[in-house]
Amino acid sequence: MMEKGYFITGTDTNAGKTWATIALMHYFKMQDKSVIGMKPVASGCFMMDGRLKNDDALLIQRNASLQIDYDLVNPYAYQLPVSPHIAGINNPVNLANIVGKFNDLKGLAEIVLVEGAGGWYAPLNDREAISDLAKALALPVILVVAIRLGCINHAKLTCEAIHHSGIACAGWIAVCTDPDMLSRDENIETLKTALNVPLLGVFPYLANANFGFLAEQLTL
């Protein structure tokens, strides 16, 4: 059933990937598309209903067009808030398992969004990184850039790494994470020139999420 899917990565941890993913879910729902999301790997989880769950994954689950079992949304939930290759030492990420669950989801909705963990080269196990997961899913990538000091270097490096991976980058989203950043607009303009992929939207700084408003800032 899936018409389109995207893999959401970021310039770093806390770049705004989850807000961007859910804003994209709202954007597609506004176009009368059915949409569901995955956060296949999550650290920093807590016990809920007898199993480990993650706040971001629960948000993605709640904002889908239809109810999806949590195990499909977040197959690898780790308690420690550290890199998955450390947190999951006793239950390492298996990419084939994630791909299988993704294939199950493809038949349920027109749009499937998959949020990564950390940045592009964040390790998932002792051999593979987020970039390998994106390759295994064969989805075009949307890069979330946290607009803060150092963002130009981080964005250029990540965009270059995506291209070197041989994966299409559909564009980037600017997320203003620092309310006190100097020359914010100038940094975004610099990135518009430096990154050879389209800017899909600019999210202004918000203390609390307003996903309907953020969806209105997007143009795909």
Catalytic residue among 33, 39, 106, 192: 39
Q: Concatenated DSSP letters for 76-125? A: EE-SSSS-HHHHTTTS---HHHHHHHHHHHHTT-SEEEEEEEEETT-BSS
Residue 187, helix vs strand vs coil: helix
Give the gyration radius of the chain's Cα atoms.
16
Query: Measured at the alpha carbon of residue 145, what is the angle toward residues 141 and 150, in degrees to the nearest 5?
Result: 135
Task: Identify whether 135 is a catalytic site residue.
Answer: no
CB 19 within 8 A of CB 211: yes
Helix, strand, or coil (residue 132): helix
- Would strands 4-10 and 35-38 be described as parallel, antiparallel, or unpaired? unpaired
How many whole angstroms separate alpha carbon 91 and alpha carbon 85? 9
Q: Enumerate the active-site residues.
A: 39
